[in-house]
Amino acid sequence: MARFSGRWLGFALIAALLALWEIASVLKWVDTFTVPRMSSVATTIWDLLRSGVLPREAGASLWRMFAGYAIGVVSGIAVGMLMGSFRPVYYLLEPLTEILRPIPSPAYVPLAILFLGIDDEMKVFMIAFASFFPVLLNTYSGVRSVDPVQLGTASTFGARGMKLLWQVVLPSAAPYIFTGMRISLAVALIVMVISEMVAASNGIGYFILAAERGFKVREMYAGIVTLGALGYGMNRLFLAIEARMLAWHHGFTQQQKP
Amino acid sequence: MTAAGPAAAAAYIDIADICKSYSSAHGEPTVALGRVSLQIERGSFVSIVGPSGCGKSTLLQIVAGLLAPTSGQTRLNARPVTEPPAEFVYVFQQYTRSLFPWKTVERNVAYGLEVRGRLSRSEIDRRARDFIALVKLSGFERHYPWQLSGGMQQRVAIARALACGPDVLLMDEPFSSVDSLTRVGLQELLLRLWKELGFTVVFVTHDTDEAIYLSTRVVALSKPPASVAMDLPIDLPRPRDQIATRELPAYLAYRHRILAQLFADEGLQRAAPAGSA
C-alpha cells in the first residue's frame, strides 16, 4: 500500500494530464477533431450518464463480464484443487492446459462464434475461458504449497476427502487463489471489450467501436473513460474484499517476519 | 486408570517390529527405524528419547497412523492402525504451522470436534471454551494464533488436542521451541491435565531431564537404524516438583543411566571416566 502522506501525488498527476489535454486542445497543439477538448468529453459523459445510455451499455457489459468471470473462477478453483490434490488428475490435464493456456484469447473468437453464435453465450464463454487459466494455475500452486503440518493436523483429527479439501486446503490456498482471481479480473475486462467489439449490439466495447465508426469522437472517448472508471472501481472493490477475507494472512505473514 | 487384566495378552498400544526405510534417488535405501517394538499401557506416560535424527518423530508418526511403516504394525487394542484412529491425537512440534492461521483460538480448539461432528454447534462452542479455560487462555478466544506468544500457541494446540477427548496424546517434542521457563509451565500444565483426564501420553523429546521428570517410563532409541536401546520404568513420587524431584538421588540415577546410554551410543568421550556405568 502506498504511504498516506504522498497519496495526493498520483491524483495531482491525473489532474495535470487532464489540464494538459484541455490546454493542448484549446491552443490547437493537436487536431481538435481527433482530440476534442477534455471539458467537452466530460460534458458528453455527463449527458450520456443522464440519458441512461452509458449505464445501460455498462450494465450489459458488466453482466457478461461477471457471468463469465464467475464461471471461470469457480471452475478454475475446482479444477485447480483437483489437479493439486490428485496426481493422476494433474498428469491427465497438465499437458492440455499448457497447450491451451498460451493461446491469446482473441485467437479463439472465430471458433467461439462458429460454435456459439454471436450472442451472449459466446461472450460469456470467452470471458470464462480466459479467466479460467490464471485461477487454475494459482489454485494449483496454492494447493501444492499447503503446509504438510496442517494436513497432518487435519488428518490426526480425522478429516478426510472433501472435509480436508474444504476446511484446510481451500482456506490455506486462498491467498494464491486471490492472486489468480485478481489477474483474471483484468483479463476478463480485456476479453469482454474484445468480444463486444467483434460481435455485439450493445455493451461498452460495442459502444466505443460504433462511436468511432460514426465519427462521434467525444462519445468514443466517453466510452474509454468509462472503461477506465469501471476497471478502477472493480479493482478497488476486489482489493477491499480480499483485504477482508485475507486479513488473517496479512497478520500471519507480518508475524512470521523476524 | 484400568489395569490390563493378567489374562489380556495384547497390550493397549502394541508397536510391533516397526521398520522404516527411505529410498534415496540412487544407491541403497536409508534405514531409519530397524525393528522397533514397544508395548504401552493404558494411562501411562511414556517418553521416547534418542539422538537427534534417530527417527523418534518418524516412529511417533507411524504410531499415529500418519505415516506408513515399511514393515511392522501398530495395534491399538489388538486392532491394526492403518489410518489415524479417533482415539489418538498427534500434537506437532511446530505449533505455528499446526494451528490454522485463518481460525481464531476458539475455532482452532473447536476444530477437532467439528471434524468429528458428533456434537451440536452450541455444545462444541461450550466445550471449546471449557478447554480454553483449562489451559488458562480465557479472554483470548477471538484472538488469532499468530497474535499469541509461542507458549500460548502451544497451549492452544494442547487444548485443541484434548477438546475432542482423545485416549492417547502423541506429542512430538511439543515444548522444544519455547524458552525454558515457558517450558516448565507447559510441563506442569500437561502433568495436571494428564492426572485430571487420565489419558495416555507418548512423548517424544530430546531432553532427557524432561523425559524423566514427566514420565512413568522412558524409552531410549539407538542411532539409526534405530531400535529400543533402553527401557526404563521411572519410579519417582508424584506430584513431582520442578526443583525437589530433580534433586532426588533416584532421579539423578535415572539421569545417569540414560545419559550414559545416549553418550555411549553417540561415541562421546567423557572428561572424567566415572569408572563404572
Give residue A191's identity as a one-letter amino acid code. Answer: V
What's the distance, Cα to Cα, between the start and end of chain B in Å?
A: 35
Q: Is residue A158 predicted with pLDDT exceeding 50?
A: yes
Per-residue pLDDT of B192-239, as tens digits, reads 999 999 999 999 999 999 999 999 999 999 988 889 999 999 999 999
Residue B53 region by backbone torsions, left for phi larger than 0, else alpha for psi between -120 and 50, else beta: left
Buried b (16+ CB within 10 A) or exposed e, A180-213: bbbbbbebbbbbbbbbbbbbbeebbbbbbbbbbe
Do B186 and B214 meet the contact criterion of CB atoms below 8 Å apart? Answer: no
| B73: helix, strand or coil | strand
Alpha carbons A140 and A86: distance in angstroms, whole number: 11
- Binding-site residues on chain A for chain B (CB distance < 8 A): 147, 149-150, 152-159, 163, 167-168, 171-172, 174, 248-249, 251-252, 255-256
Dihedral sign of CA atoms B192, B193, B195, B200 in order? negative
Instruction: Give yes or no for a contact between A85 and A165, defined as CB atoms under 8 angstroms apart.
Output: yes
Cα B155 to Cα B136: distance, rounded to the nearest angstrom? 8
A61-120 confidence digits (pLDDT tens): 999 999 999 999 999 999 999 999 999 999 999 999 999 988 988 888 889 999 998 889
- Cβ-contact A93, A153 below 8 angstroms: no
Contact present, A181 and A142 (Cβ < 8 Å)? no
Asked if A238 and A180 touch (Cβ cutoff 8 Å), the reply is no
Query: What domains sit in chain A, N to C, each tagged with a CATH number?
Result: 54-256 (1.10.3720.10)
d(CA B130, CA B109): 10
The set of residues, in sequence order, having a beta carbon less than 8 Å from that of B86 and lying 6+ positions away, is A158, B116, B166
Contact B232, B243 (CB under 8 A): no
Average confidence (pLDDT) over A207-235: 94
Q: How far apart are alpha carbons A173 and A180 in whole angstroms?
A: 11
In angstroms, the separation between the Cα of residue A150 and the nearest Cα of chain B is: 5
Interchain CB contact of B164 with A (< 8 Å): yes
The span from the CA of B167 to the CA of B173, in Å, is 19
Q: Is B144 on the interface with A (CB under 8 A)?
A: yes
Strand partners, B27: none
Nearest chain A Cα distance for residue B98, angstroms? 5
Banded pLDDT at B274 (limits 50, 70, 90)? low
Given a cut of 80, is residue B98 above it in pLDDT? yes
B164 exposed, middle or buried (CB, 10 Å; 0-12, 13-18, 19+)?
A: buried
Report whether the peptide linkage leading into residue A258 is cis, meaning its omega lies within 30 degrees of zero.
Answer: no
- Which pLDDT does position A257 carry in this prediction? 65
Cβ count within 10 A of residue B14: 20
- Ramachandran category for residue A139: left, alpha or beta (phi over 0 → left; psi -120 to 50 → alpha): alpha
* Whether the Cβ atoms of residue A68 and residue A123 lie closer than 8 Å to each other: yes
Task: Please say if the pLDDT value at position B271 is more than 80.
Answer: no
Q: What letter does residue A32 receive in the DSSP assignment?
A: T
Q: Compute CA distances A32 → A12, A48, A188, B4, B239, whole Å.
A: 25, 21, 33, 98, 93
Average pLDDT, chain A: 92
For residue B143, give the chain A residue with the closest CA: A248
Say if the Cβ atoms of B100 and A171 lie within 8 Å.
yes
Q: What is the pLDDT of residue B275?
A: 52
Distances (CA, A) of B228 to B18, B81, B234: 11, 21, 16
The residue of chain A nearest to residue B94, with distances taken between CA atoms, is A149
pLDDT at B95: 85
Q: In this predicted model, what pLDDT tens digit does every residue of B64-88 receive, in sequence order?
A: 999 999 999 999 998 999 889 999 9
For residues B82-100, average pLDDT: 91
A218: Cβ–Cβ under 8 A, 6 or more apart, which residues? A36, A40, A41, A44
Residue B127 predicted with pLDDT over 80 = yes
Q: How far apart are CA B134 and CA A143, in angstroms?
A: 35
Chain A within 8 Å of B100 (Cβ-Cβ)? Answer: yes
Above 70 in pLDDT, residue B8?
Answer: no
State pTM to two decimals: 0.86
**pLDDT reported for residue B2:** 45
Residue pair B112/B161 in contact by the 8 Å Cβ criterion: yes
**In chain B, what residues touch A168 (CB-CB under 8 Å)?**
100
Inter-residue contact A179 to A228 (CB < 8 Å): no
- Which of B97, B102, B112 has the CB atom closest to A157's CB atom? B112
First-last CA distance in chain A: 21
Say which residues have a Cβ less than 8 Å from residue A248's Cβ, sequence separation at least 6: B101, B102, B144, B146
**Dihedrals φ, ψ of A81, to 5°?**
-65, -45
Whole-number percent of chain B with pLDDT over 90: 75
3-state secondary structure of B253: helix
Inter-CA distances, B199 with A48, B20, B268, Å? 74, 28, 37
In 3D space, the residue among B102, B107, B169, B168 whose CA is nearest the CA of residue B132 turns out to be: B107
What residues in A contact B97, CB-CB < 8 Å? 147, 149-150
Q: How far is A89 from chain B (nearest CA, A)?
A: 23
Beta carbons of A139 and A176 less than 8 angstroms apart: yes
- Comparing A135-149, B46-60, B263-277, the range with the smallest average pLDDT is B263-277
